[in-house]
Amino acid sequence: MPPKKRSSGTTQNKEMKSGTEIASPDKKESPELSVKKHRDKDTEFLTLCKGLHVTDMVCDQAWKLWKTVQDSMDQATGDQKRLWGACLFVSATDMDVPCFTVTQVLKAVSMNLKQFVALVRKLDVNLDTISTKVNSVLTRLENKYDVTLALYQRFEKTCKKIFALVSDEKERETMRSCWTMFLLAKGRALQMEDDLVISFQLLLCSLELFIKRCPPDLLQPLYKSAISKVQSPPTRTSRRNQSKARSRPAEPEMDLQLLKTLCDENECNTEEVKNVYQTSFSAFLDSLDQSKSPDFPQVSDLNQQYEEHYLKSRDIDGRLFFDRDETVLMPKVEISQVERTPKKNLPDEEAVMIPPQTPIRAAMTSIQQLRGDLTSSGDQPSTNLATYFKNCTVDPTQDVLKRLETLGLAFSQRFGQAVGPRCVLLGRQRFTLGVRLYYKIMEAMLKSEEKRLSVQNFSNLLNDSTFHTSLLACALEVVMATYGESSFRTGGYNHGGGDVAETDVCFPWILDVVNLSAFDFYKVIESFIKADPTLSKDIVKHLETCENLIMERIAWRTGSPLFELLKQEHEGGAAEQVETPASFSQPLQHNHTAADLYLSPMRPGLRVLPPESPATPSSQASSQPPTQSGGQVPRLPKSNSLSLFYKKLYRLAYLRLKMLCSYLLSSHPELEPIIWTLFQHTLQHEHELMRDRHLDQLMMSAMYAICKVKSVDLRFKTIVTAYKNMPNTSQETFKHVLISEGHYDSIIVFYNQVFMQKLKTNILQYASTRPPTLSPIPQIPRSPYKFPNSPLRVPGSNNVYISPLKSSRMSPGIMTPRSRMLVSIGESFGLSNRFQKINQMVNSSDRSFKRTLDLGSTPKPLKRLRFDVDGQDEADGSKSGGDSTLIQKLAEMSSTRSRMQEQKMKEDAESRKE
């Protein structure tokens, strides 16, 4: 647990001493290091331990870890101290002993944070070296650092526009106080300190406070005039009236005009910042007794209070950004690598260059676009939507409104619990935007259904509570993702790392808030995307990743309706197989609507066809009645939603397997279809193995099993090493696998005790002279999530694309795609040399294309990788004796990865052409 807050008058240059006082208040609980107990350890290591005030237990654990990884780390002698620091960090984090802060260990080993995080992750040479808890802490630390860095860069840039540089020393002192106050405000107002948008809004509030209290001669004209518009000259008010004004308990002072100026200059919504000011920031000022003070807060007071917060959090000292300290510096980027684009084209003038897309600019642009798209949408159903409601046999209006009221309260309260105690109102604002999007998408869906079916009575659909909840949850997820509050940092895992679950609003957080199953949520995703062509490509990709996360893990949790559907299918004789293998060769039809999936979970299906028979196209499945021919058992209705789910699941599974095979088995291409057959068989006939597990766990187990029976030397450690290089993977997948109820272990234990035991007979069949019939390879279709506004390749060229103008709001001058030059046909383009610049860009594209494929040097193979407590490497108990094989496989991975990426780029270009 973090140490209790304690008053401290220390400053930055005394932080090591104060860190000791804060971290070790109880001598019995955290005794000082006893050198006599550690005579077996290196003297310099003990000196580092004493400097960081670690306990005997942490010292022992760190040294044990160091000895474990020592032979596996190919480091120069001079880097030994850095490795010790990494081992101490891992040990203290795992044991939850508050010895030192992250900044203190960074200073002790002379590293910046990015280097240190990379080094700690490099220690992970064994499955049990870096725990999921440590990995979670690292991820949160890295996220917080990235957010703080982006905020400081914007702060520095904004201050240059605010201050007049009359006195550099005075200006720097003011800026330092403002930055420290902001860090303190963020720390106190937000539990989720890696929230970029709310943090940025708090920064604008802090700037507003300092600007209006700043002497006019320190300000640039824009901000000097913004203040003068709202503040009356002192001579206009008598002293008597001033005295009365001071005695009144008025609202905290807020200069609306100044705040609006700051928001406009930073492309931020004024109303949102105003609400942040009135809730979180005002309460923070009250805690400092600064609400009515006309003066700046005392620097010493701010430093003291921030020092307490920083020591309690035990991570990085945010003040060091202002000092340009080496521990928080980023590697310098050459100016030639900074991507810039021209502003709106002006005749007879050179293009005006604007800065690259920064995290804050990207977030503000996304929010601006979302709010703009919902301008015409109201907080109540539109006239058209109300008409659809009235046309229903049972009017759903009251149920819809009551549901929104209940879920709105739940969402805003849970948002406040996760983000910050005074952020409930902000949660309500997010919910209001979500409701507008919910109404907008619902109306678009109903119009599409009316056109498709020529009916106007949608009573069954509009009185389905699950449909409404799913649609609302999807809308809220879009809003959360737009504001950067939802991502995939945990990959759907909610364990490990202290209070991570309490402050993590990443998907699938929203499902828990509205009490919705992941399987029901999946049904609405595709229709939602099709119903709103204004969704950005990033948001579409986010929703597609949500869908993949559901299919590979979340829908398989105990209690999911997926298992009930599977039970009905198999027990009712609906099908021997959820989806016939013969249909794999058929294109995946993306013509299912939300109405199909919610209203008709049971639809007439097809006869069970032998593998060699041609399958009826799935697009006809919903319109054909059950067929019964002589000698065949009639097939009961099959679930439409389950059928589509399995079709998508098989294709996702095969794509991931194909990628892993390309890394590891390029010299054995004949094994891929065999591994796929075992993998597909498992998903189809042994789906209980997926309960509370991950799709990739079965994939890696199937690969190892087939290689074993085919006598191909592929170690499990090699599979895991390659798997970590695949996109969208998490170490929890192979470190935290369910073995039995409540018991988790590594994937090798899962293979030994569960997978192999369940499938042993089937696996051995592949070693016989008459192996099982191979499953057909699923056809890999183009993504159903087409982007109507995506750039189209100009015929005959590889690097020139045209894109339709999305809306009149977004002019070419506002749009700033990275490393692209915009030409708006019909508008003046200016000088002819700009076309020459385009030609130069096209001609030099080969170089930039190669740069995008440059993944750096081949990763150095891990010299040791332990999977179980006995030190055995493999499922059969053998020890690794073939490092040369591993080196060869990893070398193949590097070259194959480049080839795969090049092929993917080519396929993407072809799909755009289509």
- Residue matched to tokens 């105690």: 421
Highest-confidence segment of 213-217, 651-655, 827-831, 885-889: 651-655
Task: Compute and round to an integer the Cα radius of gyration of the chain.
Answer: 30
Task: Report how far residue 124's alpha carbon sits from residue 132's, in angstroms, rounded to the nearest whole number.
Answer: 11
> How far is the CA of 804 from the CAs of 64, 275, 451, 792, 829, in angstroms?
61, 36, 26, 9, 17
Between 343-347, 524-528, 689-693, the lowest mean confidence (pLDDT) is in: 343-347
Q: Report residue 297's pLDDT band, with 50, 70 and 90 as the boundaries.
A: confident
Each residue of 712-761: pLDDT tens digit? 999 998 999 899 889 888 888 998 999 999 999 999 999 999 999 999 99
**pLDDT of 181 above 80:** yes
Determine the pLDDT at residue 321. 94
Each residue of 322-380: pLDDT tens digit? 999 999 987 554 333 444 444 444 444 444 445 567 899 999 999 999 998 888 888 89
- Report the pLDDT averaged over residues 122-136: 79
Closest among 482, 462, 475 to 510, alpha carbons compared: 475
Q: Report residue 483's pLDDT band, with 50, 70 and 90 as the boundaries.
A: very high
% of the chain with per-residue pLDDT over 90: 46
Judge if the upstream peptide bond of residue 784 is cis by omega within 30 degrees of 0: no
Task: Report how far residue 510's alpha carbon sits from residue 657's, in angstroms, rounded to the nearest whole number.
Answer: 30
341 three-state secondary structure: strand
State the pTM of this model.
Answer: 0.78
- Say which residues have a Cβ less than 8 Å from residue 65's Cβ, sequence separation at least 6: 87, 90, 91, 123, 129
**pLDDT of 842 above 90:** no
Between 118-127, 401-410, 859-868, the lowest mean confidence (pLDDT) is in: 859-868
- Report the pLDDT averaged over residues 93-105: 92
Query: Residue 845 phi/psi, 5° resolution?
Result: -70, -25
**pLDDT of 846 above 70:** no
**Mean pLDDT rounded to a whole number for the chain:** 76
Please, are residues 103 and 327 in contact by the beta-carbon 8 Å criterion? yes
